[in-house]
Amino acid sequence: MHKNSRRGFMGKAFGAVAGVGAVGSLVAMKKSWDPLPSVKAAGFTTLDMTIYPEGELITEKWRGKPIFVLKKTAEMIEKQTEGQKARSIKVGDSQFMLCIGLCTHLGCIPGYNPKEEAFLCACHGGRFDWSGQVTHTPPPRGFDIPPFKIEGNKMILGEVGPEYQAMKDSGITL
């Protein structure tokens, strides 16, 4: 008796859900872009940092977000400003710019122009230099840097290592 009435309730509940299916599917589509909390908790990505070519922007993915990786050229290292140096990540003998590739204004994905060594966000004209510092508003700050831990020549995204903690403590990333 109890089981039957429960089944009846479930049937009604399912019917109600099916009734709003059209709206629900739109919500579901949006939700499917965001990882589940359980996936987030286990969301580590390990990058082998030896494979990146110098001066070429490569886009990786971490927890569904684009991750920009740029291995600095010798020229970039030589001419970098203190601000650019502060955002630098050293792995082995190489230096990298690595950040979440989402504009800090409203979340568009900016494009990289290697000739200008700059990122341009087409949504509202925000600009960033090659190191991820904002150079033209409306973005309120430079690109955010994901939590990372360095292990030999590898970077583990999603884990907090001392280099990331230092960047966070000094306000380089949120």
Residue of 97, 121, 145, 150 interacting with ligand FES (CB under 6 A): 121
Catalogue the long-range contacts made by 138-142 (C-beta closer than 8 Å, 24 or more residues apart): 138/105, 139/103, 139/104, 139/105, 140/104, 140/105, 141/104, 141/174, 142/87, 142/99, 142/104, 142/172, 142/173
Q: For ligand FES, how many residues bind (rule: CB under 6 A)?
A: 10
Give the containing element (helix H, strand E) for 154. Answer: strand 154-157
Residue closer to ligand FES (CB basis): 143 or 164: 143
| Span from 10-18, 85-93, 98-106, 166-174 in contact with ligand FES (CB under 6 A) | 98-106
Residue 123 sits in the site that holds ligand FES (CB under 6 A): yes
The nearer residue to ligand FES, 103 or 155, going by C-beta atoms, is: 103
The correct pick among 35, 43, 66, 138 for binding ligand FES (CB under 6 A) is 138
Residues 155 and 161: their CA atoms lie apart, in Å, by 10
Tell me which residues touch ligand FES (CB under 6 A).
Answer: 103, 105-106, 108, 121, 123-124, 126, 138-139
